[in-house]
Structure 1
Amino acid sequence: MQPIQGATARPPGEPPSTPSAAGEFPLSTQQRTVLERLITRLVALSQQQSAEVWAGLKHDLGLKSETPLLSRHFPAAEQNLNQRLSNAQTTHATRQVVQQLSELLPQGNNRQAVSDYIRQQFGHSALSQLTPEQLKSVLTLLQNNQLAIPQPQQRPATDRPLLPAEHHSLNNQVAKLTAATGESGKLIWQSMLELSGVKTGELIPAKHFALLTTWLQARQTLSQQTAPTLQTIQAALKQPLEPAEWKEITDYSQLRFQATPQTLLTSTQVQDILNQVFLKRVERSSGTPEARHLQPIASPFAPMIEAMNSLSARPGLMLVALLVALAIIWIVI
């Protein structure tokens, strides 16, 4: 008799042959338990389901979906799942760091402090470009209050004009403020020129960019406040007032408006106070007294009105002033 084609001849009475290599057996209970534990941990850290992970594992091993895993596949499968788990743990940890940073950035001057720090250390200001380790280091510094925004007097003074990108940024913020308040963009720019001490047609120095940004953002935020006070002004500033600045502004508000930190302020008073914050910071950054006092756009005749109010309280003086004015007009005519 001829042996069956494709089968190996064996002596009569000998049982059928068994797989010669132990690796051809199905996964043992212990091996399957190891893989299932790794997959359970992986599922807990990712958005995948268990079936998806098994399918992905077989794909990585070059097996068809219906092909069962064998003992010889175990080492490669365990290595694959460990690598996936390591990546998932890194991604999960990074996601947690980013979430913690997102909660801390809006507080005080944290956003500016972080932006300045990573620009100096890593050459860019986007958190998305940082490695997980860099993100973690930034979070640690922020949590330990070891990041601080440089104060105006510490920034290197520069008289260069605004760069196109800086001018574009201010222009966008002016447009937002115009949309929020209905004010003329041209008048807002005029106020910014006056605050910066330059004439119409001249270029604003770049050293005022950060202060103007704070001024514009604070104005936009406060325009949405129905009952602004000195305390809400403090909260709206990107770079909050330091204790010495707070005393200066509260003293100024008390003297000019008889306003305490809890007094409700008009929009004109709010703008006047923001102007003073800007001018005081420019004064400290330059080291020279700032003699300018700017009136808000909404109240250009405030000094005249105050003078008239003062005269109206003293009828005799009012009459003398009126007679003097009539005499001057008579002479001129």
Structure 2
Amino acid sequence: MQPIQGATARPPGEPPSALPPQEQPLSTQQRTVLERLITRLVALTQQQSAEVWAGMKHDLGLKSDAPLLSRHFPAAEQNLNQRLTSAQQTHANRQVLSQLTELLSVGNNRQAASDYIRQQFGHTALNQLTPDQLKSVLTLLQNNQLNIPQPQQRPPTDRPLQPAEHNTLNQLVTKLAAATGESPKLIWQSMLELSGVKTGELIPAKHFALLTTWLTARQTLAQQPSPTLHSVQAALRQPMEPREWQEMSDYAQQRYQATPQTLLTTAQVQDILNQVFVRRAERSPESLEVRNIQPIYNPLIASVIEPMKNLSARPGLALFAFVIVLLLLWLVI
């Protein structure tokens, strides 16, 4: 902290200065007030205290080596308070922008926010928004109040995970284990159970996207000290659609008596993420397996097909069986 120049020490026995009060150096109380304001400014702006002193003196029209007098105190205090208010606003704006930037990287939030900003403000540049506008967009995203488009899903498949997909999941498991301290083996076991496969079996590729979302959401939420259902929504790569949001809100209320704003424990957060995974897996078109789809044809034809399987093993009767089937088809049609 740059010392404030005051009066020089008087030699012993010299009478007190005859200067008027306003021309005397700053009092101890005045000096303390200014020093505290400068300390707060330095913490917010990363400036050096000497820079702040110099800037203040420049604003007051004083030379950098001129001492501050008592009459300068009101203007100096006002100048520092104005600088502090501006610095606090800038700091708050940076925090809002940081939170907004983090949320925009989740799921389709960026597209939803761009659409909203274009509709409301006529452009999509964040740096052209006012602090209040930035805060309004952040609040809408945090409260799940934007119309977030759902990403298109590729047709699922029953094939097992490819090496590249398995490697991606393994990297995410390693990151989650580092963030939570949980054993990677236990995380894999949870993933197997969620996918409905036994130990030693391969996870179907149709669960790759769901498991990726589950792992990244768990890692994101592990770094949040006070997660809520809104936090879970923001952490999902594919955020919950309105129906899912209502279902999970009802689930949290019934199981934990928790509202979307209630702070959740780590176990509750994981349980809710598990529920999201399971419900999405159940709704996947791939959950209707081919063996459960019954072909639609005439019962008479069906009665012939099974015997045909047996006849196909006897080449001598194959032609005869084929002729019989043609006659039956002709009669039916």
TM-score of Structure 1 vs Structure 2, range by shorter chain: 0.3 to 0.5
TM-score normalised to structure 1 length: 0.46
